[in-house]
Chain A
Amino acid sequence: MEKKDKILINLNRVSLIDSDNNSRILHDISMEVKAGEKIFILARPYSPAVHLLRICATMYPPSSGTVTVFGRETNEMSFSDLLLIKRTIGFVERVSSLISNKSLFENTTLGLRYHNNISINEARRHAHTFLLHFDLLENINDRPARIPPEKLRMALFCRELVLAPNLMILEKPSYGLSRDELEFIMEAILSYQEKSNCGLTISDDDADFFARNYGFSVHDLIDGCLSS
């Protein structure tokens, strides 16, 4: 199999049922994300796109069906094994936040320092390009409460990119950002994708923007079922 065709995520007949009221959230979804591929899932109001993304990011298991990430089926995996998978997935949720009592630098380089067991100075050297690109250097020692919201959002993307993921999953990247800022972030992510050949799955509400400008293949979620 060529590197380009390497399947990063495979969802096979995945369904999700709300255990509280037994209602169906996702129904019989099968999809694949290959290396270098760009998938867009249209998030209509009240659509369960976020649940689909969370299943892809191995945040929780489906009620039925199988999820295979990087060739390994996740249903039977232990929490420690899942952590190894999560490390290679860059997932930015709409509501995710930085650690409030750590500086921006500590936040963006935490994964890098933890996994590579490197000192703060080494982490600074590694992360410098991303911090500079996202214009975060001037706030590097500030805690999240003192940083403007759009920069916080940038820092979330930066935190994931620093870890060099094989797959990026973004929930509503446009949230809290102007069109210019969104374009800036998308360019940074796509340039990373070009270099690393990572897969990219995005869920947002403006399918046209992502399909026209960046060539995403658009999928729609209607009644919990996925259609192209």
Chain B
Amino acid sequence: MSVFSRIRVFLFPVVAQPLGAIGRSFLEMVNEGFRMAGFLYIIFSVAWRHRKDGRKVIFQEVISQIYFTGVQSMPLVFVVALLLGGLLIIQSAEYLTSVGEEFFGTLVNVIIIRELGSLLTAIIVLLRSGAAVATEMGYMAVLKETKGIEMMGINPVHYLAVPRVIGISVSMICLFVCFNIISILGGMLLTWMITNLEMTNLIKELSQSIGAIDLFVGMTKSLFFGIFVSLVSLYHGFNAAGALTSIPPRVSRAMVEGLVLCISFSAMISALFYL
């Protein structure tokens, strides 16, 4: 056996196998992405096709979802927003005093409105409502409740998925607005308490630094985060099959994929608008 052949025999398991595994994982990831995009297309096409069916029932489901996602998670959003606003000011109090009010506006705009406001709201909704939706759908699929709905002549995607996508997306936008208001107010209050900066100047600087484009980008991000969070949760929930034990891994995957999707999309949109 030549030296080259020996090296090849030695290297094959060391290099080729891990490379193959990486390649397979990548292809599986791409495949999963396409399947998820297909599921999103189904949700939108079903929503359009059945737009006149069962309006009262669907409306009731949308309201329940908004109540669960938007209203019941308000206390959590309130606490996180207040802490974020406070932390931001505690960390930058020293610079605020030396640089002045104009820094406050930029800081709040860049960190809260443009980035963390929508992203943290998305993470809260993903961990709270996304996990609940994925588990609920998983149980329904495994216990054949979705089949029962189908046998009543109701499209399960229309009755279960469409209201959740609408409810979570609407809630996400509302929570984003609330998150921003609370964290800005919290930040201003703390700034006023621990620095000697004038409140009126802070408000003036803030209103000058926040542009319509920032709010538009934040809301667009929130809308898409809402779609992504509901999509991954519904996709994994609907695809749970067989035993009840198949549900926890599905929920776990939904959380991880939802997080990756939201962060990637946030980075992409920020790069598109601000680079």
Residues of chain A at the chain B interface (Cβ within 8 Å): 57, 59, 79-80, 83-89, 91, 93, 95-101, 110-111, 113-115, 117-119, 159, 163
Contacts of B143 in A (CB 8 A): 97, 100
Is the beta-carbon distance between A110 and B56 smaller than 8 angstroms? no
Is the beta-carbon distance between A117 and B145 smaller than 8 angstroms? no
Q: State which residues 127-143 of B face A: CB under 8 Å.
A: 136, 139-140, 143
CA distance A99 to B61 in the complex (A): 14
The chain A residue with its CB closest to the CB of B136 is A101
Contacts of A84 in B (CB 8 A): 153
Check B198 for interface membership: any CB of A closer than 8 A: no
CA distance A187 to B154 in the complex (A): 28
Contacts of B147 in A (CB 8 A): 59, 93, 96
Is the beta-carbon distance between B151 and A91 smaller than 8 angstroms? yes
Going nearest first, the 6 A-B pairs with the smallest beta carbon separation are A87-B153, A114-B54, A111-B152, A86-B153, A114-B57, A83-B153
Is the beta-carbon distance between A57 and B54 smaller than 8 angstroms? no
Q: Name 13 extra pairs, CB < 8 A, besides A110-B152, A115-B53.
A: A57-B151, A93-B144, A96-B144, A97-B145, A99-B148, A99-B149, A100-B139, A111-B154, A114-B159, A117-B54, A117-B55, A117-B56, A163-B153
Is the beta-carbon distance between A86 and B152 smaller than 8 angstroms? yes
Check B155 for interface membership: any CB of A closer than 8 A: yes
Is the beta-carbon distance between B56 and A119 smaller than 8 angstroms? yes
The chain B residue with its CB closest to the CB of A85 is B153
The chain B residue with its CB closest to the CB of A89 is B151
Contacts of A111 in B (CB 8 A): 152-154
CA distance A104 to B261 in the complex (A): 38
Is the beta-carbon distance between B152 and A163 smaller than 8 angstroms? yes
Check B28 for interface membership: any CB of A closer than 8 A: no
Is the beta-carbon distance between B144 and A80 smaller than 8 angstroms? no
Contacts of A86 in B (CB 8 A): 150-153
Check B6 for interface membership: any CB of A closer than 8 A: no
Is the beta-carbon distance between A59 and B151 smaller than 8 angstroms? yes
Q: A110-B57, A114-B53, A114-B54 are in contact. Are A96 and B154 (CB under 8 A)?
A: no
Main secondary structure on B side of the interface with A:
helix
User: How many residues belonging to B are interface residues under a CB distance threshold of 8 Å?
Assistant: 22
Determine which of B56, B145, B153 lies in contact with A98 in the assembled complex, contact meaning CB atoms within 8 Å: B145
Q: A97-B148, A98-B148 are in contact. Are A80 and B153 (CB under 8 A)?
A: no
CA distance A87 to B151 in the complex (A): 7
Residues of chain B at the chain A interface (Cβ within 8 Å): 49, 53-57, 136, 139-140, 143-145, 147-155, 159
Contacts of A93 in B (CB 8 A): 144, 147
CA distance A117 to B51 in the complex (A): 12
CA distance A118 to B57 in the complex (A): 8
B107 CB to nearest A CB, Å: 44
Contacts of B55 in A (CB 8 A): 117
Q: A97-B143, A100-B139 are in contact. Are A83 and B150 (CB under 8 A)?
A: yes
A6 CB to nearest B CB, Å: 20
B133 CB to nearest A CB, Å: 11
The chain A residue with its CB closest to the CB of B54 is A114
Contacts of B150 in A (CB 8 A): 83, 86
The chain A residue with its CB closest to the CB of B49 is A80
Q: A99-B145, A99-B148 are in contact. Are A113 and B153 (CB under 8 A)?
A: no
Which of B54, B149, B150, B153 neighbours the largest number of chain A CB atoms within 10 Å of its CB? B153
The chain B residue with its CB closest to the CB of A57 is B151
The chain B residue with its CB closest to the CB of A95 is B144
Is the beta-carbon distance between A96 and B148 smaller than 8 angstroms? yes
CA distance A159 to B151 in the complex (A): 11
CA distance A93 to B152 in the complex (A): 13
The chain A residue with its CB closest to the CB of B140 is A99
A-B contacts, 10 of them at CB < 8 A, read A79-B155, A84-B153, A85-B153, A88-B153, A97-B148, A110-B154, A113-B56, A114-B152, A117-B55, A159-B152
Contacts of B149 in A (CB 8 A): 99, 110
CA distance A79 to B57 in the complex (A): 21
B164 CB to nearest A CB, Å: 13
Is the beta-carbon distance between A113 and B57 smaller than 8 angstroms? yes
